Amino acid sequence: MLRITALILAAVSIPAIVAPAAAQVSGVAVANPEGAIANSRAWAAARTQIETTYKTQLDQANARRDAVQKELTPLITAFNTARSQPNANQASLQSQAQAIQTRQQAAEQELGRLTLPAQRAQAYAIEQVSAKLNDAVQAVIRSRNISVLLRPDATLFAQPAADVTPAITTELDRLVPTVSITPPAGWEPGQAGQQGAAGAPAAATPAAPAANTNRRPAQPSGR
């Protein structure tokens, strides 16, 4: 389906978190907030529900994607062959490239329409989990007397024991045992994050269900 990492990143962007001055300081830890959300039980259950609820649309999208790929492959091959020839006709190449691009864009729009309900369901489920991410992070900071919490990519080296991502996931499982995959009327992605921005760290986006709705048709090489 969709790539969970892209959705979680849009919901959860956590900067380095420093514990309150009054807390006992015992060290530095690392955590991957996207991973914590992606591994949560609520998201796993929601992902399964989405795959089942929107199976027809996702199957249609996958079938349509494969058909478009088959349609575009010979066109792209012909384009690449033509452009490799000496004294290739640039006007003809430009026309071929434009035709391929137009077909790709039309296919992406069509696939977007087919997968939109599943994408909205994913975004809504992720938003519900990520809404409790700050609470989960702060609970782990307090329980482990962490002075500074960093993302893994912000560190040069860290012992495995310094990774508190699983602990954050455990807290999320406690705080958000289940989520809904049915957005309420008028809901738009990001609303919860905007409303709660004053008291929570910015958020990131998770990986998506099995069907890969983000795969795109191949592009002409060299363009």
State residue 191's pLDDT score: 72
User: Which residues, including other chains, have CB under 8 Å from residue 130's CB and lie 6 or more apart?
Assistant: 8, 11, 12, 37, 193, 203, 204
Query: Terminal CA-to-CA distance of the chain, rounded, Å?
Result: 27
When pLDDT is averaged across residues 201-219 and rounded to a whole number, the result is: 42
The closest alpha carbon to 96, from 72, 114, 123, 75, belongs to 75
Residue 156, both tokens: 């040069």
Measured between alpha carbons, how far is residue 103 from residues 54, 55, 69, 127 in Å?
Answer: 26, 25, 10, 33
Please give the residue that has the higher pLDDT: either 179 or 24.
179
Q: What is the pLDDT of residue 89?
A: 94
> What tens digit of pLDDT does each residue of 21-38 get?
333 335 899 999 999 999
Using pLDDT thresholds of 50, 70 and 90, give the confidence band for residue 139.
Answer: very high
Kindly tell me if the per-residue pLDDT of 160 is higher than 50: yes
**pLDDT tens digit sequence for 71-120:** 999 999 999 999 999 999 999 999 999 999 999 999 999 999 999 999 99
pLDDT score for 158: 86
Task: Look at 77-81, 152-156, 209-213 and tell me which has the smallest mean pLDDT.
Answer: 209-213
Structure tokens given for 196? 């709660």
Nearest to 29 by CA among 199, 135, 130, 167: 167
